[in-house]
Amino acid sequence: MLIPQASLRAAPPSSQALEQARAELEAGRTTPALKTVEELIDLLPPPEILQEAYFLQATILKGDGEIEEALSVLKQLLEEFPFSPVTNSARIMLAELYSQKEEYAQALTQLSQALDYAPDQETRQTLFQLIRQAELGNGNPLGAVKAALNELMLADPTERLALEQLIQTLVLQQLDEAALEEIIESYPKRYPSDLAMIRLIELHTSRGDEVLAERDIRGFLNRFPTHPYAQTAMALLQSFINKIKIHQHILGVALPFSGPMKPYGTDLLNGIRLALDIAKEQWGLSSVGLVVKDTTTLTSTLRVEMQQLLDEFQPRAVIGPLLSREIRQIGRLPDDYDTPFITPSSSLLNVREYGSFWFSTAMTTSVQAKRLAEYAILKLGYHRFGIIYPKTAYGQELAEMFGREVIHSGGEVIAIEGYDEKQTDVAEQLRRLKNKDLEQYGLEEPEETRTGEKRLVYTPGFDAVFLPGQPVHLALIAAQLAFFDMNVPIFGGNSWHNPEIFRWAKQDLDGSIFVDGFFLNSPDPNVHMFIQRYRSRFHKDPSLFAVQAYDAATLALETLRKGAQSGQGVWDQLVRRSDLPALSGFSSFSSAGILNRRLYILQVNNRTFTQMN
């Protein structure tokens, strides 16, 4: 019997089969190449050959347009060999296949993972290019700009020009306002922040929003004083300054519009702009201009900058600054110029310490404490209180203020106990509170349990407990109060006004009461109008900062409506009037310069907040 010669030949080693498949692929013989590699895989070669075979199989399938089959092979490769030498190449091919299917989110996931393990600059450049293309396909030009900027750093001179032109096109034609702001924050004093700022100036100018355009121009000149666009920016700025100066009345604004405090400055400016819009519509105050100063991009001290603003524009009032330390820097300058400065956010309890022309529309701890104590004592009839506070500046100050207001209103504080924010157990503080209470008003009486045992039952002698802490601490303390039989109402400050409270406290705080300066779900028609106008104008919900700035601007504008013609005239009304139209109702300023605003009494109930007043 003759044995065929083919059968006498030994089967080629797996590495030879792999090389054969590669050679067939290079020769354009894809069908034999695919057959060879599939037969090789069926033989279960050693791992170092199998992973290469999988990748070659996916390469052939991809070239033949068999996208789903190629995807399946690559996923199997990554599952079986997550740390293979071909893993990164497999991820890149996966991303290319997902992009062909227009599944860009999947592609970006693979590219991001591949980037973490890219072995060299050439591979990283390729990855940034693929990310840029996927981001554009995914409708995210901001992501494409960021990828192109990374690609730019790795490109050779012949490639840089094309990339720079692409970035310029994306920034000037495709980025929306929020994306432009992000570019400016991410690259504050370098390319392409200059392009983004120029585009913002153009957008705001074309919309007739000269307040923001002027702010953007000043920011641009501060960051890029020698830029080719600087001369154009200077001409625009002078044009805006001339337009501001022709107004009968001018209000100054000094707030941060860059850096970490920018979100607060933006909210505050939004509140001011809305107040001006409404005053123009409802009161006919059409001749009021705003001059805006970014307190984070100053070329000299804040006091000097404010002095320059007062000299050049002679505003009726200035709204700002944001921080207490900035008030200290400015000092008595408002008094020197007879110009009221109204801070919408400083936590100072007495701004008049720095001069009689200082005012504040911020919700301070003293305002919170006074409103809570009045409600608890005069409305609910409670007179005795325990206080458990976190040893933070906010917690200590609010606890001290509340205790002072309770005593001032004829009430009594049984004990004040502090805890460190890192604590998860306040049992020792509650024991001390209980012991102090038992020395005065608390009772411990024997009671027989169901099993016939005797136990002492504690009845608190105080009516309520004040907890000015954060949601996570409230949950812990509320549960421990119940454990110590301190089943009394709980009061708190505006730090409670956070949905996180429902994540931590569950039902333990139901019925508890706190205060805040703003409530989105208030039935008050004035508040409802303000919220709707704010959402329509700025496409988001207003914050407490926006409300406080709205009040500051509204009160200044009200004095102009009532005939104030100078800073002194504005001051006269702010000091003397008790009918100033704050958003929450008629208000007045205290002798410390703090707005006596009406606060909202809110109750926690069944995972919602309910307004009680």
Last residue of a domain, one of 516, 536, 557: 516
Segment 82-126, tens digit of pLDDT? 988 999 999 999 999 999 999 999 999 999 999 988 888 999 999
CATH number at residue 155: 1.25.40.10
Last residue of a domain, one of 143, 173, 203: 173
Mean pLDDT of all residues belonging to the chain: 91
Mean pLDDT of 535-539: 95
Spatial contact of 505 and 471, defined as CB atoms under 8 Å apart: yes
Please choose, from the candidates 405, 338, 363, 346, the residue with its C-alpha nearest in 3D space to the C-alpha of residue 575.
338
* Helix or strand (DSSP H, E) at 611: strand 608-611
In a domain, 407, yes or no: yes
CATH number at residue 493: 3.40.50.2300
Mean pLDDT of 490-516: 85
- Tell me the three state secondary structure of residue 580: strand
For residue 96, give the amino acid letter: E
Spatial contact of 63 and 30, defined as CB atoms under 8 Å apart: yes
In a domain, 501, yes or no: yes
Cis check for the bond before 542: say yes or no (omega within 30 of 0): no
In a domain, 201, yes or no: no
The boundaries of the domain holding residue 509 are: 365-516
In a domain, 235, yes or no: no
In a domain, 536, yes or no: no
CA 535, CA 550: separation in Å to the nearest integer?
14
In a domain, 237, yes or no: no
Mean pLDDT of 376-399: 94
- Tell me the three state secondary structure of residue 458: strand
pLDDT band at 507 (very low <50, low <70, confident <90, very high): low
- Tell me how many domains the chain contains: 2
In a domain, 192, yes or no: no
Q: What is the 3-state secondary structure (H, E, C) of 250-296?
A: EEEEEECCCCCCHHHHHHHHHHHHHHHHHHHHHHCCCCEEEEEEECC
Q: Indicate if the pLDDT at residue 429 is higher than 90.
A: yes
In a domain, 397, yes or no: yes
Last residue of a domain, one of 113, 140, 173: 173
Segment 21-65, tens digit of pLDDT? 899 889 989 999 999 999 999 888 999 999 999 999 999 999 999
Q: What is the DSSP letter of 354?
A: G
